[in-house]
Amino acid sequence: MPGATRPTLRITTRNAQFQQWQALLTNRTKRQRAGEFLVQGVRPISLAVERGWTVRHLLHSDGSDGRGLSRWASELVDGLPAGRAALAPELMRELGGKDEEAPELLAVVALPEDRFERIPVGPGLLVVVFDRPTTPGNVGTLVRSADAFGASGVIITGHAADPYDPKAVRASTGSLFGLPVVRVSSHREVIEWALALKDRPQIVGTDEHGDADVFAHDLTGPTIIAVGNETHGLSSAWRQACDRMLRIPITGTASSLNAATAATVVLYETVRQRSGHLGA
Q: Does position 10 have pLDDT exceeding 50, yes or no?
A: yes
pLDDT at 15: 95
How many residues in the chain? 280
Terminal-to-terminal C-alpha distance of the chain = 57
Q: Measure the CA–CA gap between 103 and 94, rounded to whole angstroms.
A: 9
Q: Measure the CA–CA gap between 51 and 189, rounded to whole angstroms.
A: 27
Q: Measure the CA–CA gap between 68 and 102, rounded to whole angstroms.
A: 12
Q: Does position 164 have pLDDT exceeding 90, yes or no?
A: yes
Tell me whether domains 3-110 and 116-277 share a fold.
no
In what order do the strands lie in the sheet containing 55-61? 8-11, 83-87, 55-61, 105-110, 36-40
Q: Does position 280 have pLDDT exceeding 60, yes or no?
A: no
pLDDT at 279: 47
To the nearest whole percent, how much of the chain has pLDDT over 70? 94
pLDDT at 5: 56
CATH of domain 3-110: 3.30.1330.30
The 3 state secondary structure assigned to the chain is: CCHHHCCEEEECCCCHHHHHHHHHHHCHHHHHHHCEEEEECHHHHHHHHHCCCCEEEEEEECCCCCCCCCHHHHHHHHHCCCEEEEECHHHHHHHHCCCCCCCCEEEEEECCCCCHHHCCCCCCCEEEEEECCCCHHHHHHHHHHHHHCCCCEEEEECCCCCCCCHHHHHHCCCHHHCCCEEEECCHHHHHHHHHHCCCCCEEEEECCCCCEEHHHCCCCCCEEEEECECCCECCHHHHHHCCEEEECCCCCCCCCCCHHHHHHHHHHHHHHHHHHHCCC
Q: Which CATH architecture has domain 116-277?
A: 3-Layer(aba) Sandwich (3.40)
Selection from 96, 25, 36 nearest residue 60 by Cα: 96
Over range 91-119, report the average pLDDT.
Answer: 91
Question: What pLDDT, in 10s, does the model give residues 74-95?
Answer: 999 999 999 999 999 999 999 9
Sign of the Cα pseudo-torsion (205, 192, 141, 161, in order):
negative
Q: Does position 46 have pLDDT exceeding 50, yes or no?
A: yes
Q: Does position 260 have pLDDT exceeding 50, yes or no?
A: yes
Strand partners, 206: 246
pLDDT at 66: 81
CA angle 172, 49, 263 (to 5 degrees): 20
Residue ranges covered by each domain of the chain: 3-110, 116-277
